[in-house]
Amino acid sequence: MKLSKIQIDLISNFFSKQPVLKAYIFGSFSQGTGTENSDIDLLVELDYTQPIGLEFIQMQIDLQKLLAKKVDLVSARGLSKYIKPILDKEKKLIYAR
C-alpha cells in the first residue's frame, strides 16, 4: 500500500504551515509495502531560521491526529551518517516549499 493522494495533500498542506523546507516519505509506504498497521515514516528538512524546539514533537502529534496513523517524524539534520545513505536511496519527495 502507498500513501493516497489525499494523504499526501494533507501532509503537504500541514507542512506548508510549519518550518519545513522539504519532506520525504521512506520505509514501507515509500516502497508500496505498507499495511493498515504500518506507521508512516517521514523525513523532514527543517528551516532552522525559525525557532523549532518542542514544535517538532507537536508536529508529530498533530500529523498522527490528522492521518489517524502512527507517524515517525525524523529530522534530516539528526540522521546518523550510517543511516543517511540508506534513506537517500529509498526516500521520495512529497513536499517542497
Q: Are strands 71-75 and 20-26 parallel, antiparallel or unpaired?
A: unpaired
Q: How many whole angstroms separate alpha carbon 57 and alpha carbon 4?
A: 24
Please name each of the domains of the chain with its CATH number: 5-96 (3.30.460.10)
Beta carbons of 71 and 4 less than 8 angstroms apart: no
Give the pLDDT score at 2. Answer: 86
| Per-residue model confidence as pLDDT tens digits over 45-59 | 999 998 888 999 999
Name the nearest CA neighbour of 31 among 94, 97, 90: 90
- Over residues 6-58, the pLDDT tens digits come to 999 999 999 999 999 999 999 999 998 999 899 999 999 999 998 888 999 99
Q: What is the mean pLDDT of residues 56-74?
A: 97
* Whether this model's pTM surpasses 0.85: yes
